[in-house]
Structure 1
Amino acid sequence: MKYTAILLLLLPIHLFSQPRLGQINDADGYTNVRSEPSGQAGVIGQINDGEIFEFDGSGSSWYKVWTNYGLSGYMHSSKIQDVKLECGCNGYGGSNSKPMLRYTEAGRVLSVCGTIDSVENKVIYGTEMLVQDCLHHEKLNEPSTLPQKVELKDGRISITELANLPVSKSWKYNLVPVTKNSYFFIDDRLITQINAGAYSFPKFTANELEEELKELKSGLSSASLPLSIDKALVLALNDCDDCEVLFLNLGDYLGGGLDGENGERYLEAVRIYKLNRK
């Protein structure tokens, strides 16, 4: 089965009569979504096997279709089969909570509900995302109030929590912390991976690394220790042997001082380093 990237747009408002749930009926594993109800119209995206979408079946041979994440266009009626089940939010989350993704494979039907803040670069951003097993009416995770993103790729729904690691804000470079907190694999089982931390960090040239390392070393005695830990981590992640030596032996360079909250922060930084170096 092949999976094709889908262009995600901001969620439009649909005013069609009696929307129904459907999935594709196509041996190719995907069906094109077109800008107009015609086989000659431009292709604006694809819907893959397993994805559940909404459609207006009032047309003759071409139906208006739309996904919860914003892809909207037309599909030939022969490529659509009805989905006869309730796969919404089941009353969860209040007036702003709505399905973001719905997907079925290997006998499992999942709905991801929550509040959509935006859709950028094929990724949905929002909060309080809840994954439900529609057939058994089971909640499969605990929703978080932290910012999150959700995406469907290669048959896998993944939810990632954002801004969940402590990062100093006073460095001249922008550090973007990410905690990959839960992955949901759609298969014959559901696997959850907890607390796999990661940084999106600035990449330096060799000359920049040399200058940053020199500045870090010279200021260790007077600089903020949390900021020094963050800097040392980022430099070590840049494939710099001397930076790695400094980071992994930071306590020796400081002559102690890595205890209490600072010690916990450093151990967390080491864990992040090891995960990102795999």
Structure 2
Amino acid sequence: MQCCCKKKKEPKPEDAASNNCNTVPPRGVPYGGGGSMREPRAAKTGGPQKALPIEAPCLTLDELNKMTDNFGSKALIEEGTNCRVFYGKLSDGEEVVIKKLDTSTLPDPDTDFTEQISMISRLKDPYFSQLRGYCLEKNNRILLYEYATMGCLHEILHGNKSGNVLDWGQRVKIAYGAARGLEYLHEKVQPPIVHRDIRSSNVLVFDDYETKIADFGLSNVSSENAARLHSTRATPRLSEDKVKQCVDPKLNNDYPPKAVAKLAAVAALCVQYEADFRPNMTIVVKALQPLLTSKPAS
């Protein structure tokens, strides 16, 4: 699983403090997504920008130590090159993911990082993972997010968990939710935001297969170069005569072929080589919406 950009090779089997010092992560699909912080690309506006407050609770390091048993192994979910991810509970019982970023990999000054947290804290949408708190005490950079009850899409699709195969309807619902999250960032936030790290591990899945886009990450490839690379690989496979080869064999042919063709056509537009030929996310959302009611072939 990709948790904090590149994962290490060795395997890994507000008023918000919790009194449980030995919190153990729930069993099941672990939380995915996320990575190191990097300022999302937003439209530039003239003149100096006034710093806005952070709309999330500021937790003390002592509170977080109590939640995670001093960031111990029992609360550890995953470890990557840029952060460690822990499980915890707020005082109201809400489950959260606690991301302790490796400050040595984050070149941004503290003022820039604070501005990034402020911006992310003000992103309020049902299809975007909400920031639940933060801590900058003693040069730490720690962020708390909603806990994804079903984990990330990458782990659901490619993990070793048995008996958790997504059916056609669940896949469409997840795709639709991800599109709604991007629509919010691209079309509804002012100035618009380009995520720059959309991948299956940054698509979080909650109860009833509700989907939220996770936080921004650090990519080793520029966004435009990455888009062109994906476009070159994906476009030939999404042609009408080859789209069946892209269908997950785990579906056992239990899907509506016409709806699959329509979904592939939308995907093909989204990976066009030139950005000007790609549809905006509002168009994508409208194209996906009718597929929510499509039924597998008898």
TM-score tier (shorter): under 0.3
More helix by share: 2
Q: Report which of the two structures shows the higher radius of gyration computed on alpha carbons.
A: 1
Q: Which has the higher contact order (CA 8 A, sep 6+)?
A: 2
TM-score of the two chains, using structure 2 as the length reference:
0.25
